[in-house]
Amino acid sequence: MESFRGKRVLVIGDVILDRYLWGNATRVSPEAPVLVVDVDKEELRLGGAANVAQNVRALGATPVLIGVVGADVAAHSLKRELNAREIDSDRGLVPDDTRRTTLKTRIIAHHQQVLRADEESRETVAPGVVEEVWTRVSRSLPDVEAVLISDYGKGVISPALLDRLLPELSRRGIPCAVDPKEEHFARYRKVTVITPNLAEASQAWGRKIRSPEDLLEAGFGLRKSLEADAVLITRGEEGMSLFTAEGHAHFPTRARRVYDVTGAGDTVVATIATALAARAPLPEACVLANHAAGLVVAELGTAVATAAALIDSLEDLPVG
């Protein structure tokens, strides 16, 4: 954990602004059969690749965030939230006035989400924007120890970008961790580790993973087809399973309670990429990620696992 300090992790992907409206619902609208929520608090949080970057920062490393934003109020708010967490929002965020900054509004009543409204553009970014993203990526590569791809399917991660990025990472020997989306799964070839959840792994494998035998077949099969160093399948309350050339390992969940799984995948891949930047062995990186995920699912909404909290969780392990 101490070796995380000073390490630089390049985070590339879809940045999202999460807006939370907190309140109470005590009546039904006379206009339609829906609850009326009396909002008493508004909160902005980072989502997507921006949340990944703040998880890297919380662990003590330095995130280098690259993504695309619109020319709108949400972009200004997103940059303000990044700057408040000491994450540079100027050099890496490419403006595109033809797109909307992804904004997800969640309405929470009595500690339960009752509605989510999304404002976003999902089409692939224009070729000129891809070129600008690549320019910023290529400038950053000489100064980072690991790369993290955070694909939320909002258009920043594209075949054109991956076809340039992945061979360059291989040439430079830079470890790469990927949080995938299904439509690009087959293009994540020869990465260090890819971290699909169970549903994503099932879809990529072509059939639902229902049994331990299915899990083994899919894990090793995906690793072979992608020529990846490792595949890490996250399985919610069942923990996570790692597949490498040496075999497979299972990491039971460390969560003491599960309140909200929002952003847990961000925390897992951020912890693994940061550990890889510090040259930790992959199984050790998975142990850290498993503990970090156990911390954030105990919180409502996107959250981070700080270095101090993660150390406390590790020290709480039974001796022997």
Residues annotated as catalytic are 266
DSSP letter for each residue of 181-250: -GGGGGG-TT-SEE--BHHHHHHHHTS---SHHHHHHHHHHHHHHHT-SEEEEE-GGG-EEEEETTEEEE
Check if the beta carbon of residue 147 is closer than 8 Å to that of residue 118.
no
Check if the beta carbon of residue 11 is closer than 8 Å to that of residue 28.
no
If phi > 0 it is left, if psi is from -120 to 50 it is alpha, else beta; for residue 247 that is: left
Phi then psi for residue 169, to 5 deg, are -65, -40
Residue that is written with structure tokens 């330095």 in the block: 62
Host H or E run for residue 55:
helix 48-58
Neighbouring C-beta atoms of residue 99, cutoff 10 Å: 23
| Cα–Cα distance for residue pair 87/89, rounded to 1 Å | 6
